[in-house]
Structure 1
Amino acid sequence: MPPAADAPHGGGAAPAGVDGVLAGLRRHARHLVAELAGPVRRVRLRSGDTVLEVEWHGPAERVRPDDVPAVPPPDAAAQPPGPMTVRSPIVGTFYRAPEPGAAPFVAVGDLVRAGQVIGIVEAMKLMNEVTADRSGRVAAILVADGQPVEYDQPLVALDPA
Structure 2
Amino acid sequence: MRSAELSSRSGPSEDDVATGEERSLRDEVVDLARTLPGTLRRLTVRDGDRAVEVEWAADTAPAAAPAAAPPAPVPGGLQAVASPADEEVPEVPEGTVAVRAPLVGTFYAAPSPGAEPFVRVGDEVETGQTLGIVEAMKLMNPIVADSAGVVAEIRVGDAESVEYDQVLLLLRPPGGPR
Q: Which one scores higher on RCO, CA 8 angstroms, separation ≥ 6? A: 1
**Normalization by structure 2: what TM-score?**
0.45
**Normalization by structure 1: what TM-score?**
0.49
Question: Which structure's residues are more often helix, by fraction?
Answer: 1
